[in-house]
Structure 1
Amino acid sequence: MKIKVNKINSANAEIEAEISKETINSKLEKIAKELTKTASVQGFRKGKVPVAVVKKQYGERLIQDAESEALRDVLNRGLDELEVAMSALIGEPNISKFNKSDDKIEATVKVAMRPQINLENYIEMVEEFDKPVITDKEVDERIEKIADSQAKFVDLKRKRAAKDGDSVTIDFEGSIDGELFEGGAAKEFALVLGSGQFIPGFEDQIIGMKIGEEKVVKVTFPENYGSDKLAGKDAEFKVTLHNIQEKEKVEIDDAFAEKLLAGQDDKSLENLKAQVKAQLENEAIGKLYNDELKPALLETFVANINFDLPQFVVDQEIDVALNKKAGTMSEDEIKELREDAAKLEALRESFREEAERSVKATFIIDALATAENIKVDENEVMQIVYYEAMQMGQDPKEAYDKYKEAGYLPAIQMSMVEDKVLSQILNSKMKEV
């Protein structure tokens, strides 16, 4: 067996081999002898089957097994010459060439190795930035919103017209071209004006109505409305207003704070303001991180940390992008690509730059996670999936099982690792103003 290795770069290598027919025959003989100990052939006792009979019974399978064993030898010897451990490989080796002739097999095996990434100066690539400042006015506005959300609606103390924020009780009956439509009528319906519960324009026209007043409200259903029968149609609603309620003002004092901070030792308004300020700071930091700093930081790392990429991983990423693109193409366009290899290759190459960037970013995050000692276990992934499912009113376990079946969990886990890694690095560069 002749072996020739070619280390393309630190992440990719090729092993070329010439396997003689004698090598294959020798391995076939050995495998056949081993099989005589366990083979079950009619007319022979177990363990007493002649080699010749085993060869006849399992002919093609023996040849395949002998060739597979020879290829394993090629891989092992090639890795030894490359001085690469089997554990350093990424993915399965790819047999890019396998030519059989009467006296030999010519084979080429491509292997990919985990990239060696130098993170020596990564912290120096991160610029310091000021921690977002939350003003007393912002704190007061948030507490006022909390108070408003807890306020009860009460009947008006003096008669007046309905205004934004009021809760009104109405009867309404909708029609299009004079004909009533299904689901367009209700009695004693409670509606908070400004809530956006009805289609645009409806609630605005209720503002200014008084108790006992009747009015025809004219609106146009949105083009993307859920019902095709109503989408884009002009409609009229006959509305009768029965009652108006306004929100009872909630005093923002220690008594209000005590209700919100039940179970805590310090139930003062001052403590409530401190907690609201901390919450606003976290929200501001989260928005700054997600909208600006994290994407910019990842781009900085991708631009400045250079290493060789395993080619087969890039090719897999290109395949994903190509399949996604194919999903948006017509049958004629797909047929044209199948019949024009050059055009298909050009389309594949158009995804290469973004695929290389994506693969590079993934390896960088993986290396940074090790450097920053960041881990996300399966339980954390489960918790985030459960939480998001409950937020959307879905069954958490069903959602988790569905993601698991579809193979989405590793991607979710990687996204969580990326979020934690970049957040931790940015936290170390945040300055108090």
Structure 2
Amino acid sequence: MAGLSWRNVYMNIKSNEKKENSAIELVIEVSAAEFDAAINKVYNKQKKNIMIPGFRKGKAPRKMVEKMYGEQVFFEDAVEEAYPAAYDAALKEAGIVPVAYPKLEIVEISKDGFTFKALVTVQPEASVKEYKGLVVAKPEVKVTAADVKAEMKPFIDRASRLVSVERKAKKGDVAVIDFEGFKDGVAFEGGKGENYPLELGSGSFVPGFEEQVIGMKAGEEKDLDITFPENYTADLAGAAVVFKVKVNEVKERQEPTLDDEFAKDVSEFDTLDEFKKDLKEKLKARRQEQAEREYEAAVIDALLENLVCDVPEAMVEYRADKMVEEQAMRMQQSGLNFQDYLKYMGLSMDDVRAQAKTAADRAVRTALVLDAVAKAEGIEVSQEELDAEVKRLAEQFNVTEEQVREVTNVDDMKQDLASKKALELVKSSAKKPAKKKEEAETEAQAE
């Protein structure tokens, strides 16, 4: 095979052989001229730190350095410098689109150049046994009066007020307390507070504390026997302590009257009915979106059961690595350090990669099965559809369409749009499961 100049990279593909697991092995030869240029780049980067007797630091000629340390002194770094461009050029010549990181092995190296093997994973052949008429249940979306009341609760809580009462404290009340904790008769640090408003039942204090305050009245004092959990701070973990508590005041939460005035106070609506209607519609829209996501996931699950494909492990590993990189990048953009996050969560990088690998496996298989459907149906993406997607992305991220085109791979966008069209086709042809006899009779009686 003749040599190729791709971006001024001179290399030669000595062999191109298909291997198992959707892999291709390329044996790539890098010319002496290309390797020598790489050695020279490495020498120029490193010479400022090189000291040779008779020369000032950084002034020793390359030939003198090689003579003193051997001609191989720069070989390893020069290979690292030269192989990426040679690998990319070989992929271009061979028309190979990799789907994972390659496995590289140096075969031969000398001043006349070097030869390396690249085991390249490519997209595997995939087909789908069935994709039309899949039986998939679609979640029903309902919003009850109780649901609407639950939606109103945050508004009710904000409009409620605490009123002092002369009775025993009960769950839901706020007890204003003085407290101090003692371990072996000695007060411990962080165990004291005055006029602290404790919502009983909130679980904000150590287990057993709030339960013992319930039933106390204003002015009452009590010793509470408490045992700290084993997973508490080291100095108190599992310790038996005594809290001396005095209730200064008991307050109950008085909710507002739910009428038109309440609606005006907490919303932009003039009537309670309008406010409830708005809450119901918004809740229904959220649940419909969630139901659609669950339905789409169920459709994909059904599709994946019909996927015929040997998925290369390297493809999944590559996708998992990208997911971890993207997660770290998102955190960095939010001002968070990824390593600090792992430490805080008690996770190792292996834990994160294991989680990512599960998601990556599903993502890879989903892409393969949708691509198989698109090919089976001859789905194509028009220029008008591409232009519409570019416009949508530009509006979504508040950038120009030209900026979107600059950072977007057209082939990737086409594949993504084709996969979306394939999924819509599968969803539109899916069927609901047949209702059981009991369900049908129940619905008939309800009508």
Q: Deviations over 1:126-168 (max 9, x none)?
A: 7241332121232234425531343010122xx3211111122
Which one-letter code corresponds to 1:251 in the other structure? T
Aligned partners of 1:254 and 1:268 also within 8 Å: yes
Give the secondary-structure state (helix, strand or coil) at the position aligned to 2:305: helix
Deviation at 1:114, TM superposition (A): 4.5
Q: Secondary structure at the match of 1:218?
A: strand
Q: Which residue, 137, 142, 148 being the options, matches 2:157?
A: 148
Cα distance in 2 for partners of 1:67, 1:143 equals: 63
Aligned partners of 2:180 and 2:35: how far apart in 1? 89
**Secondary structure of residue in 2 paired with 1:236:** strand
Tell me: CA distance 1:192–1:14, structure 2 relative to 1, closer, same or farther (3 Å): same
How well do the aligned residues superpose, as a CA RMSD in angstroms? 5.5
Counterpart pick for 2:121 among 112, 115, 133? 112
Q: Is the 8 A contact 2:35 2:78 kept in 1?
A: no
Q: Take 1:148 and 1:185, find their aligned partners in 2: how far apart are those partners?
A: 29
- Equivalent runs, 1:128-207 vs 2, <5 Å: 128-144=137-153, 146-156=155-165, 159-207=166-214
Identify if the C-alpha distance between structure 1 residues 103 and 216 changes in structure 2 by more than 3 Å, giving closer, same or farther: closer
| Deviation of the 1:250 alpha carbon | 0.7
What is the CA–CA distance in structure 1 between the aligned matches of 2:17 and 2:358, rounded to whole Å?
Answer: 22
Equivalent in 25, 45, 49 of residue 14 of structure 1: 25
**SS of the residue aligned with 2:278?**
helix
Q: Percent of aligned positions with the same letter in both sequences?
A: 26
Query: TM-score under structure 2 normalisation?
Result: 0.55
Letter of the structure 1 residue corresponding to residue 186 of structure 2: E
CA gap 1:379/1:201 in 2 versus in 1, 3 angstroms: farther
Match of 1:96 in 2: 105
- Structure 2 counterparts to residues 30-69 of structure 1, below 5 A: none
Indicate conservation of the 8 Å contact 2:34/2:113, yes or no.
no
Within 1, Cα distance between the matches of 2:83 and 2:247?
87
Instruction: State the AA in 1 paired with 2:257.
Output: E
Greater alpha carbon shift after TM alignment, 232-241 vs 104-113:
104-113
Say whether residues 1:127 and 2:136 are aligned partners: yes
For 2:248, the equivalent position in structure 1 comes to: 242
Contact 2:128–2:306 (CA under 8 A) maintained in structure 1:
no
Q: TM-score, normalised by structure 1?
A: 0.56
The one-letter code matched in structure 1 to 2:281 is A
Whole-angstrom CA distance in 1 between matches of 2:175 and 2:211: 12
Gapped regions of structure 2 (runs ≥ 5) = 2-12, 42-60, 323-352, 375-380, 398-415, 433-442
Match among 198, 216, 225 for residue 223 of structure 2: 216
CA 1:377 to 1:180, structure 2 compared with 1: closer, same or farther past 3 Å?
Answer: farther
Pair 198,285 (structure 1): closer, same or farther in 2 beyond 3 Å: farther
User: Shift in Å at residue 312 of structure 1?
Assistant: 3.8
Q: Structure 1 residues 281, 366: closer, same or farther in 2, change over 3 A?
A: farther
Q: 1:367 to 1:203 in 2, by over 3 A?
A: same
Q: Deviations over 1:275-325 (max 9, x none)?
A: 2223443555577678x65765554444333445456434557999xxxxx
* Residues 315-360 of structure 1: CA deviation (Å, up to 9, x unaligned): 557999xxxxxxxxxxxxxxxxxxxxxxxxxxxxxx99x9598346
SS of the counterpart of 1:133?
coil
Report the equivalent of 1:258: 264
Worse-matched range after superposition: 88-97 or 128-137: 88-97
Q: State how many pairs are aligned.
A: 331
Mean Cα deviation higher: 7-16 or 113-122? 113-122
List alignment gaps of at least 5 residues for structure 1.
36-52, 321-350, 382-416
